[in-house]
Amino acid sequence: MDGRAPRRLIGRDDDLDFVCAFLDAAAEEGGALLLSGDAGVGKTAVLDAAAHHAAGAGARLLRGGGAEFEVNVSFAGVNQLFQPILGELDHLPEVQRTALQVALGLEDGAPPDQLVVLNAALDLLLHVAKGGPVVVIVDDLPWLDRASAVVLGFIARRLHNSQVGLLAASRTGEEGFFERAGLSNYRLDPLGDAAASALLEERFPALTARVRQRLIDDAQGNPLALLELPAALTDSQRSASGGPRTALPLSGRLQALFTSRVGKLPASTRDLLLLAVLDGTGDLQRLSIVASGQPVLKALAPAERAQLVTVDQATARLGFRHPLTGSAVVELATAEQRRNAHKALADHLADRDERRAWHLAAAAMSPDEAVAELLESAAAETLGRGDPLGAVCTLLRSAQVSPAGADRSRRLAEAAYLGAAATGDLRDVPKLLDDARAADPEQHASLAAAVAAAYHLISGSGDVNTAHTLLVGAIDMSEPADGDDTILIEALHTLLLMCFFGGRPELWEPFGSAVARLWRRPPELLALLEATFADPARDALPVLDRLDGAIAGLKDETSPARIARVAMAGAYLDRLPTCADALSRVVEHGRAGGAITSEIEALFLLGNAAFWTGEWDELADVTEEGLTLCEDHGYKLLSWPGVFLRALLAAGRGDDDTTRELAEQLAGWAAPRGLRSIQNYAWHARALAALGRGDFEEAFQQATLVSPPGTLASHVPHALWLVMDLVEAAVRTGRHVEAAAHAAAASEGNLAAISSRLALVTYASAAMAAPDGQDAAWFEKALAVPGADRWQFDLARVQLAYGERLRRSKLTSEARDHLRAARETFQRLRARPWEVRAGNELRATGVSIGRPETLGPTSLTPQQLEIAQLAAAGLTNKEIGERLFLSHRTVGTHLYQLFPKLGITSRAALRDALRDIAAESLAT
């Protein structure tokens, strides 16, 4: 900015009040706000006014924006935004500083972990904000490159209490890569007729009233149209004597206007503007070099006089006044002119391989292996900078310009592998694999293609045996690996997943053989997973110390995949609550645009922990989020743990219809594909539902499908979750021998040494199976387990069982204590069948039980409601302030705060939102 105040924006007082209220609040407590609106509605003008307001308040400004022709250049947007603060990098820890420098291409280094890059970018901003408020302003958000969009999405969600405000603008209907979910949005509506008329009177005072009204009708409140349409009027139209114009849609007319204005420029100016648009950096020095030293400022002067561009000689930057200008420049150029411009840019970018490769690809008229190799190298560089999605995009372009079928096939297979394993998006994998086979039908399947194909098979119509065989065959062709072989390790992790979902001991044998053959000392995480995830009842105890050490190290771990896999190793051993903080970081990383596979796994692992620890509302939330991701990205296989959690919750709360429906889905999908673990999910949910409603015969039948009584089935880790269920069902149906045998199996397997939960259920199972008179000691031992109160649902079930035994033994007072505690937990969990059972037992001891109170919904404060009603009635902020004796800025602040509460983004939606509130009040 040059320090001059922007021109007053007619008709935008309320909008500016809202935006400035956000900036004032952000200066103290941080935050992010997204502006949206149609093309030409004035988003950039509002950003300029907001920047002037923030600068006047003493904030430090960081401005940038997306560029249509830079969308494939990783971190281009962050580079632009962070240029003024790169001198502060030395204040970051070395790991973060190095990661960010490598990501931004400032130095070479090992591929940085994406989570480290994201945190480094955030911490850099937070450090700068220690010297005073910082405002980050981003225009054209949908045109940001993917990597930059991920960084800004991550930052936007972590600005609370930071003194950093993020204000970004995007055109309505253009999505881009930035994840908007959960962020405050404000829609910039078109101007009203009065404001539109005032704008025309100020800028075009000579227009007749009739022409002015026609322009108002045509412009539909769009400020850009109001300013541009008059320039296209003929003399007869200005005097209102001409005939009717062709009625183009507004967007088409605006584009035509810009095309017309650009077309009037000299050819040399258009050529230079074409170079500038395709370069996307706005760097006048680079433009001068590419233009072979011609006088750039002189050539740009006609465009500057036509108010199509701005030239800042102090910063040597060129800017387009509106994105439609750049679009018009490209539209007017011939294909040959565009190719020549791309080639000229590539010739002067020898030091920037990624940009050079993309320009050469755009200039290529036919397949070119040299260009394909450059793009493949650029993909590796992009992956090395922590942007796997950008690497996929670049590999696909490399495949497109590859002359040889074998090279094209290899590059497509690599893109499919990255899509499945690194980015976690299966939607394009089938087509990529088909294209790879079509490009070179004779080529043997690569390990990368095998991993991608296995993911796709098991998530589609294929069965686990086929996927397992495919992977085993590809892995068997691999050479022994002493160092890091990323694809081989990923293939083995994928094979481990197939073995788990298959749920049969014979599937695990090739996995163990492959790990032993390929490594003298296998990777620690693979070894841990084999011991703890394959058959934990037999193999977990010797490695518990190593597992706990790996979990303790998660506080410093930055790889989402490694965090999820370490947590997975502890899932059946009740270590998930200890992993919760790290798993939450993985979820946040995914929400900001990171690895989807790890995010899904982390959400369901958190849901799993929430079930056992009694945070059932949280379980519902994370499960729904994970299932939505699975549906959006084609991960059918990974969705089933989420469906299981949903079924488990329904079973615990007594929703038998939902449990039955979900269990049928699980079993119906799993059986024909040989997915025994998913069948176990269905049997578990059915067993729990049956226990709750007192159908103990059904509970016994379902539990014993997972593992027979008297043994913990081999390579069925799920058996550890059903020990007490099977024993209780056996006792209740008179199968005392089976109950005692299963309790003994748990005891002999030393499950109590694995975790406090397993100790609780092992001792409780022994108590349930014990004869009358011998059970109390076991119950007391169970309830005395250190940390037993962490496992609230299981603990309440033990208290219920103990209370029932005590009541039958006429120990009424002692029974009441345990039954009360159990019932309170079941009430909190809304585990209705269990609450009823505990309540019935409690009544049998002579206790009278009342009904719980219910709470109503929260609402707006009285002042917020009054302001909302006045705004909905059409009053401006100034008019509302005068009526309520408040400043217009205070009114803007209240509206900024109440919009998210009402779930709206503009004043126009206030009336409907208030009507809904009134309807809800009447209904209650």
Instruction: Kindly report which listed range (28-37, 104-113, 428-437) carries the lowest average pLDDT score.
Output: 428-437
Q: What is the pLDDT of residues 74-119, one digit of tens each?
A: 888 898 899 999 999 999 999 999 989 988 888 887 778 778 888 8
pLDDT of residue 1 exceeding 50, the answer is no
Q: Residue 79 contacts by C-beta under 8 Å, 6 or more apart in sequence?
A: 104, 105, 148
Q: What is the pLDDT of residue 253?
A: 61
Overall average pLDDT of the 45-54 stretch: 92
Q: Residue 709 contacts by C-beta under 8 Å, 6 or more apart in sequence?
A: 726, 730, 735, 738, 739, 741, 742
Q: DSSP assignment of 332-347, as one string?
A: HS-HHHHHHHHHHHHH
Name the pLDDT band for 241 (thresholds 50, 70, 90): very low
Residue with more model confidence, 779 or 904: 779
Q: At what angle do helices 388-400 and 353-363 cross, to 10 degrees?
A: 30
Name the pLDDT band for 159 (thresholds 50, 70, 90): very high
Name the pLDDT band for 705 (thresholds 50, 70, 90): very high
Q: Exposed (0-12), middle (13-18) or buried (19+): which is 76, by Cβ within 10 Å? A: buried
Q: Tell me whether strands 317-320 and 309-312 are parallel, antiparallel or unpaired.
A: antiparallel
Q: What is the pLDDT of residue 406?
A: 77
Element (H, E) at 184: strand 184-187
Is the full-model pTM beyond 0.75?
no
Overall average pLDDT of the 492-509 stretch: 89
With helix as H, strand as E and coil as C, how does 435-447 read? HHHHHCCCCCCCH
Contact 165, 134 (CB under 8 A): yes
For the ranges 202-216, 299-313, 491-505, 642-656, the maximum mean pLDDT occurs at 642-656
Neighbours of 430 (CB within 10 A): 17
Contact 600, 424 (CB under 8 A): yes
Query: In percent, how much of the chain has pLDDT > 70?
Result: 88
For the ranges 64-78, 245-259, 266-280, 481-495, the maximum mean pLDDT occurs at 266-280
Burial 753-779 (b: 16+ CB within 10 A, else e): ebbbbbbbbbbbbbbbbbeeeebbebb
Q: What is the pLDDT of residues 614-638, one digit of tens each?
A: 999 999 999 999 999 888 877 777 8
In one-letter notation, the amino acid at residue 684 is H
Name the pLDDT band for 238 (thresholds 50, 70, 90): low
Residue with more model confidence, 668 or 269: 269
Q: Which tokens sit at 686?
A: 């059915």
Q: Residue 722 contacts by C-beta under 8 Å, 6 or more apart in sequence?
A: 684, 687, 703, 706, 707
pLDDT of residue 713 exceeding 90, the answer is yes
Query: Cα(626)–Cα(583) distance, rounded to whole angstroms?
Result: 13
Query: Cα(550)–Cα(565) distance, rounded to whole angstroms?
Result: 10
Q: What is the pLDDT of residue 381?
A: 79
Contact 501, 483 (CB under 8 A): no
Q: Which tokens sit at 103?
A: 């990501």
Query: Cα(567)–Cα(385) distance, rounded to whole angstroms?
Result: 26
Contact 152, 592 (CB under 8 A): no
Name the pLDDT band for 854 (thresholds 50, 70, 90): very low
pLDDT of residue 519 exceeding 60, the answer is yes
End-to-end CA distance of the chain: 54
Overall average pLDDT of the 132-157 stretch: 90
Name the pLDDT band for 317 (thresholds 50, 70, 90): confident
Q: What is the pLDDT of residue 548?
A: 96
Q: DSSP assignment of 271-309, as one string?
A: HHHHHHHHH-S-BHHHHHHHTTT--HHHHHHHHHHTTSE
Strand partners, 311: 318
Query: In percent, how much of the chain has pLDDT > 90?
Result: 38
Query: Cα(60)–Cα(55) distance, rounded to whole angstroms?
Result: 7
pLDDT of residue 827 exceeding 80, the answer is yes
List the one residue out of 295, 231, 230, 288 whose CA is nearest residue 264: 231
Q: What is the pLDDT of residue 581?
A: 94
- Considering the chain, what is the average pLDDT of its residues? 84
Q: What is the pLDDT of residue 408?
A: 78
Q: What is the pLDDT of residue 830?
A: 92
pLDDT of residue 354 exceeding 50, the answer is yes
List the one residue out of 570, 582, 654 whose CA is nearest residue 612: 570
Q: What is the pLDDT of residue 359?
A: 87
